[in-house]
């Protein structure tokens, strides 16, 4: 793992706190939207979009994916696309 | 591995390998041979356990073949021994037949072939072929074996439970599997154990191959067997979890009264079922086949790897098309995830969906053909040495070809209408697994037997085993295509109740005699394996067959750390110079 | 440490990760497929049903939101625990990891109350496919939380002895446990809106 001097870690800690704030904010947003009772398609799209943003924040920063080599998050990215494809197929089954 | 040295006479701390060997030599019998973390011991444990289960699965089928050949006739000797409940008057009951059928498939696939090819060959050979001293996670490796063992015990115990073992096919389709009053729940629990074992093992395989490979061993210098095991591990890792989820859901349906797979308004034996309904039986099929299709590539890929190793050791020329072969295997692995619904063409899917899966199924036949072609071109112009393993490896090629070709009419929706769920299907997949994979595995057992045991097996017995088996096995499975084309359904207890079944019935007699002959022809194999351990000619040479891959650089048999000094790789595998002499991966000189 | 098994403590030059980290990511990939299968099940059952309640009609959204906040917070404390180790602050590590474990237990307690309320209203897994999938998915997620508590508890307690003997390897273990924990949080990030809000 690259550069983990105490000073660099301190910078990372700042990032973690900011990401935490963003996650809480997005949680409030997604709960708030649900009270509007949108039609199903829009509700699903919006909820999944917010969830994906939250998930990306957790993976990139808490799980250090942004620090890993290209091969790692390249593979995961491909897996993600494949996963979305499989989920979409269920709509036609 | 621990780095402590409890002062066994103050050994040199400069050599960790020697320290590890020293430490290992002081372990108790239990730590060395039963609860070992040495991948070689674990590999042998997997292989021996799996071969026992293969014999059990084979035995179940031998019983079934009596009923199939002589429907309604009492089973001689065995019929009386197995009790009136399952064999009234010595005649196999339909319930017993279904149990035997479901468990034959389950045991052969999940407790026999995969543990032998992945747990046995994979565990033993993969670390050595990448130059490592053990798997990346030795304790996890040991745990994987014992979880497999427990799963196997659970499956075997299910026969003794009230109602008998699972009897809804190895495919366990609901609603039948949910409402069946037998040990189907034990099957589900057993599957959870077996799947967990596979998942842990595949993590170990992938990390070992990628992280622990030695200096000079870049990806395109991997032996084909390493590629095969690596791709197989990815298939197991990603395809098994949906079946595990499905197994949990079916268990919930059976035990907690949920209706994941039970539709509304289901009537059983004239009574409405008191469940919430709203479930979908097809949901099980999708989740099941999402695993089970990649699973068949799990069954074939390590076999392809083994055949590659053996062919290349006995042709005195390089492998033809290494890169093509590897890319084909990778493509095969990837595509195997998007063909699953070709097992479900008859379930009423729309034409768009069916066409999609038909297309992907046709596409996936291409890499298989490429793999076979590279093997054939490897043989072309070769100076072939017909050792016993080579006989099996060469026989694999036409057998796998027949299996593959007969898959094509099944993958095309139009012809599948006539052939789905007939004996044609059974013939197709058995050709691939039995004279295909099993022959490759037997080839592998013979090929690496000298390295693992330090003894040579008896060549004559091996040749008898081969010729007897190849003839008998074709006698079992070739007639199945004709039976299927005649319209005979699979999983029938007595096909003579149908007119077309009556017409095809004589084929059953041929097939049963062939099956019993196949059983007899395995006796020289078992005798050979066991007796050669004591009576076989001692093999001291590191490289008795003249192989080029790293397992032929170890002492025979390999010590605990495999290599006394960490090896280095200098070239691709399967290289020969112009004088047809091997240029091993591990030797610097040309 | 080992010529026997390399890359336990230091990362591999090509992949950039240790064996343990690589293994953990692979394991998480299989877990994605496991929960993915259950999400697909949810989609298939819901789209195929004649009537399906909205989450907000049946489930307790405030409780679910609180649990979401708790889990996100526990994710932060988990990564701060690892960061503390990297900054050589063992005391802070214990504090943050302990908080993570505590928050996980609170999550389970709230879950217990949610389930109890459901059972009081005669809503069981066998009552409808909605409740079947609700109990199964949250139940499996809950089992994963328990697993996380066990692992984190071990690392907080007896396992922390390794900090003295091999700080690099211990930090690596905490990082891998963190990856698993963040994954558990990730599943909930999708589970919460799907089950509660839609």
Q: Which of C29, C61, C197 sits opposite A47 (nearest CB)?
A: C197
Query: Hey, are the CB atoms on B212 and C7 less than 8 Å from each other?
Result: yes
3-state helix, strand, coil in chain B (%, to 5): 65, 0, 30
Dist CA C184 CA C75 (whole Å): 9
Our CA-based measurement puts residue C44 at a distance from the nearest CA of chain B, in whole angstroms, of 7
In chain A, the largest separation of any two C-alpha atoms, in whole Å, equals 53
- Is A71 at the interface with chain B, CB within 8 A? no
Is C133 a member of any domain? yes
Whose CA is closest to B552, among B313, B281, B376, B201? Answer: B313
Dist CA B6 CA C54 (whole Å): 65
ipTM of the complex model = 0.95
Query: Hey, are the CB atoms on A10 and C56 less than 8 Å from each other?
Result: no
How long is chain A?
A: 93
Burial class (CB in 10 A: 0-12, 13-18, 19+), B28: exposed
Angle made by CA atoms B589, C3, C7, in degrees to the nearest 5: 105
| Every domain of chain B and the residues it spans | 40-261+277-553
β pairing state of B267-268 and B537-538: unpaired
Contacts of residues B456-459 at CB distance under 8 Å and 24 or more positions apart, as own/partner, are: B456/B532, B456/B536, B456/B537, B456/B538, B456/B539, B456/B544, B457/B388, B457/B528, B457/B529, B457/B532, B457/B536, B458/B528, B458/B531, B458/B532, B458/B536, B459/B387, B459/B388
Expressed as residue numbers, the domain containing C149 is 19-197
pTM of the model: 0.95
Q: Which residues contact C109 (CB under 8 A, 6 or more apart)?
A: none
Per-10-residue mean pLDDT of chain A, 93 residues long, equals 69 93 96 90 92 94 86 76 79 73
Q: Which of C43, C182, C198 sits opposite A47 (nearest CB)?
A: C198
**CB of B436 within 8 A of CB of B303?**
yes
The pLDDT value recorded for residue A92 is 74
The pLDDT value recorded for residue B2 is 43
Pick among B136, B215, B248, B559 to test the C interface (most C CBs inside 10 A):
B136
- Cα B239 versus chain centre, distance: 16
Burial class (CB in 10 A: 0-12, 13-18, 19+), C57: exposed
CA-based torsion, B94, B99, B101, B104: positive or negative: negative
Query: Hey, are the CB atoms on B249 and C136 less than 8 Å from each other?
Result: yes
Dist CA B20 CA B33 (whole Å): 16
Residue B267 forms beta bridges with which residues? B272
Whose CA is closest to B178, among B244, B253, B228? Answer: B253
- In order of B312, B519, B559, the CA distances from B540 in angstroms are 22, 33, 13
Query: Hey, are the CB atoms on B252 and C125 less than 8 Å from each other?
Result: yes
> B with C: how many residue pairs have Cβ under 8 Å apart?
131
Backbone phi, then psi, for B283, in 5-degree steps?
A: -55, -45
Residue with tokens 């046709």, as numbered in its chain: B362
**CB of B518 within 8 A of CB of B472?**
yes
Is C9 a member of any domain? no
- In order of A52, B353, B364, the CA distances from A82 in angstroms are 15, 17, 18
Whose CA is closest to C103, among C83, C123, C76? Answer: C76
Minimal-distance CA residue of chain A relative to B352: A92
> A with B: how many residue pairs have Cβ under 8 Å apart?
8
Is C85 a member of any domain? yes
Minimal-distance CA residue of chain C relative to B200: C27
Dist CA B110 CA B155 (whole Å): 10
Whose CA is closest to B112, among B52, B167, B45, B39? Answer: B52
What does DSSP assign to residue A59? I
Query: Hey, are the CB atoms on A91 and C197 less than 8 Å from each other?
Result: no
- In order of A4, A22, C9, the CA distances from A67 in angstroms are 11, 20, 18
CATH number of the domain bearing residue C115 = 1.20.120.80
- Before B557, cis peptide (omega within 30)? yes
Name the 3-class secondary structure at B456: strand
Give chain B's residues under pLDDT 50: 1-12
**CB of B113 within 8 A of CB of B441?**
yes
Residue with tokens 């049946």, as numbered in its chain: C58
The pLDDT value recorded for residue B10 is 45
Angle made by CA atoms B35, C2, B47, in degrees to the nearest 5: 30
- Before A10, cis peptide (omega within 30)? no
Q: Which residues contact B249 (CB under 8 A, 6 or more apart)?
A: B258, B260, B261, B284, B287, C41, C136
The pLDDT value recorded for residue B8 is 44
β pairing state of B267-268 and B271-272: antiparallel
Dist CA B169 CA B426 (whole Å): 13
- Cα C41 versus chain centre, distance: 21
Q: To 10 degrees, the CA torsion angle through B52, B53, B57, B62?
A: 10
pLDDT per residue as tens digits for the range C67-110: 999 999 999 999 999 999 999 999 999 999 999 999 999 999 99
Dist CA A67 CA A8 (whole Å): 12
Query: Hey, are the CB atoms on B349 and A93 less than 8 Å from each other?
Result: yes
Is C51 a member of any domain? yes
**Chain B residues close to C35, C-beta within 8 Å:** 245
**Chain C residues close to B249, C-beta within 8 Å:** 41, 136
Backbone phi, then psi, for B14, in 5-degree steps?
A: -80, -20
Domains of chain C: total = 1
Dist CA B141 CA B136 (whole Å): 9
Our CA-based measurement puts residue B56 at a distance from the nearest CA of chain C, in whole angstroms, of 31
Fold classification of B40-261+277-553 is: Cytochrome C Oxidase; Chain A (1.20.210)
Residue with tokens 């154990």, as numbered in its chain: B193
Query: Hey, are the CB atoms on A44 and C17 less than 8 Å from each other?
Result: no
Q: Which residues contact A75 (CB under 8 A, 6 or more apart)?
A: none
- Is A62 at the interface with chain B, CB within 8 A? no
Query: Hey, are the CB atoms on B352 and A92 less than 8 Å from each other?
Result: yes
Runs of H (alpha helix) within C48-166 = 55-58, 61-86, 90-120, 129-156, 162-165
Name the 3-class secondary structure at B582: strand
Confidence of residue C1 (pLDDT cuts 50, 70, 90): very low
A window 21-80, beta carbon within 8 A of C: 23-24, 27, 30-31, 33-35, 37, 40, 43-44, 47-48, 50-51, 54-55, 58-59, 62-64, 68-69, 71-72, 76, 79
Query: Hey, are the CB atoms on C23 and B136 less than 8 Å from each other?
Result: yes
The pLDDT value recorded for residue B457 is 96
- Is C45 at the interface with chain A, CB within 8 A? no
């Amino acid at each position: 793992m690259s550069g983990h001097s105490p000073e660099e870690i301190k910078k990372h800690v700042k990032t973690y706190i900011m990401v935490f704030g963003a996650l809480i904010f997005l949680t409030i947003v997604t709960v708030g939207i649900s009270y509007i009772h949108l039609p199903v398609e829009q509700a699903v799209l919006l909820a999944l979009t917010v969830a994906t943003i939250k998930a990306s924040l957790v993976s990139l920063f808490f799980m250090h994916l942004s620090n890993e080599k290209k091969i790692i998050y390249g593979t995961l990215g491909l897996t993600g696309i494949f996963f979305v494809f499989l989920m979409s197929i269920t709509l036609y089954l | 591995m621990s780095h402590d040295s409890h002062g066994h006479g103050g050994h040199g701390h400069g050599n960790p390998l020697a320290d590890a060997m020293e430490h290992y030599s002081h372990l108790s019998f239990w730590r060395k041979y039963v609860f070992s973390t040495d991948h070689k011991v674990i590999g042998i444990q997997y292989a021996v356990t799996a071969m026992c289960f293969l014999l059990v699965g084979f035995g179940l089928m031998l019983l079934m073949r009596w009923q199939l050949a002589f429907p309604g006739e009492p089973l001689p000797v065995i019929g009386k021994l197995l009790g009136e409940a399952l064999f009234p008057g010595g005649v196999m009951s339909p319930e017993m037949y279904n149990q035997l059928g479901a468990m034959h498939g389950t045991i052969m696939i999940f407790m026999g072939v995969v543990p032998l090819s992945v747990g046995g060959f994979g565990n033993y050979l993969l670390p050595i072929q990448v130059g490592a001293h053990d798997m990346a996670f030795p304790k996890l490796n040991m745990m994987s074996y014992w979880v497999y063992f427990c799963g196997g015990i659970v499956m075997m115990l299910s026969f003794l439970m009230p109602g008998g073992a699972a009897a809804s096919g190895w495919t366990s389709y609901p609603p039948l599997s949910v409402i069946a009053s037998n040990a189907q729940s034990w099957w589900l629990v057993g599957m959870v154990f077996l799947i967990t074992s596979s998942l842990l093992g595949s993590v170990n395989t992938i990390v070992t191959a990628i992280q622990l490979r030695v200096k000079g061993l870049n990806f395109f210098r991997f032996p084909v067997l390493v590629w095969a095991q690596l791709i197989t591990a990815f298939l197991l890792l990603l395809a098994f979890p949906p079946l595990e989820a499905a197994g949990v859901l079916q268990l919930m349906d059976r035990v907690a009264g949920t209706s994941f797979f039970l539709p509304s308004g289901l009537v059983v034996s004239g009574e409405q079922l008191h469940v919430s309904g709203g479930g979908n039986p097809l949901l099980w099929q999708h989740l099941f086949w999402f695993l089970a299709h990649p699973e068949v590539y799990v069954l074939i890929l390590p076999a392809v790897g083994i055949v590659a190793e053996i062919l290349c050791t006995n042709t005195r020329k390089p492998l033809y098309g290494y890169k093509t072969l590897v890319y084909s295997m990778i493509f095969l692995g990837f595509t195997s995830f998007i063909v699953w619904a070709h097992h479900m063409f008859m379930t009423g899917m729309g034409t768009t969906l069916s066409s999609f899966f038909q297309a992907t199924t046709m596409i996936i036949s291409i890499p298989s053909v490429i793999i076979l072609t590279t093997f054939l071109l490897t043989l072309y112009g070769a100076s072939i040495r017909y050792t016993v393993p080579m006989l099996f490896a060469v026989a694999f090629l036409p057998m796998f070809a027949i299996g593959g070709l007969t898959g094509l009419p099944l993958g095309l929706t139009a012809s599948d209408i006539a052939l789905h769920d007939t004996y044609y299907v059974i013939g197709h997949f058995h050709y691939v697994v039995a004279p295909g994979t099993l022959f490759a595995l037997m080839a592998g057992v013979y090929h690496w037997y000298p390295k693992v045991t330090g003894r040579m097996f008896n060549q004559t017995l091996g040749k008898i085993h081969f010729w007897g088996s190849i003839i008998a096995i074709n006698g079992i499975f070739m007639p199945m295509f004709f039976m299927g084309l005649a319209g005979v359904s699979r999983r029938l207890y007595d096909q003579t109740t149908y007119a077309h079944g009556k017409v095809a019935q004589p084929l059953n007699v041929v097939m049963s005699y062939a099956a019993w002959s196949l059983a007899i022809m395995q006796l020289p194999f078992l005798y050979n394996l066991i007796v050669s351990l004591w009576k076989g000619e001692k093999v001291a040479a590191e490289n008795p067959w003249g192989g080029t891959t790293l397992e032929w650089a170890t002492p025979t048999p390999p010590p605990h750390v495999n290599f006394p000094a960490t090896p280095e790789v200098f070239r691709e595998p399967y290289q020969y110079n112009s004088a047809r002499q091997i240029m091993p991966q591990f030797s610097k000189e040309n | 440490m080992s010529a026997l098994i390399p890359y336990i403590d230091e990362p591999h030059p090509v992949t950039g990760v240790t064996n343990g980290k690589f293994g953990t990511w692979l394991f998480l990939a299989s877990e994605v497929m496991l929960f993915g299968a259950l999400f697909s099940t949810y989609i298939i059952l819901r789209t195929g049903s004649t009537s399906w309640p909205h989450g907000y009609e049946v489930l307790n959204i405030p409780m679910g939101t609180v649990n979401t906040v708790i889990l996100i917070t526990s994710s932060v404390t988990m990564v701060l625990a690892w960061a503390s180790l990297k900054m050589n602050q063992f005391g802070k590590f214990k504090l943050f990891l302990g908080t993570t474990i505590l928050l996980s237990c609170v999550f389970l307690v709230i879950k217990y109350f949610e389930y109890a309320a459901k059972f009081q209203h005669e809503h069981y897994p066998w009552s409808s496919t909605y409740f079947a999938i609700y109990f199964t998915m949250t139940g499996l997620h809950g089992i994963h939380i328990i697993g996380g508590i066990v692992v984190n508890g071990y690392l907080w307690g007896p396992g922390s002895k390794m900090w003295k003997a091999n700080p690099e390897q211990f930090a690596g273990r905490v990082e891998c446990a963190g990856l698993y924990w963040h994954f558990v949080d990730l599943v909930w990030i999708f589970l919460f809106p799907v089950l509660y809000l839609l």
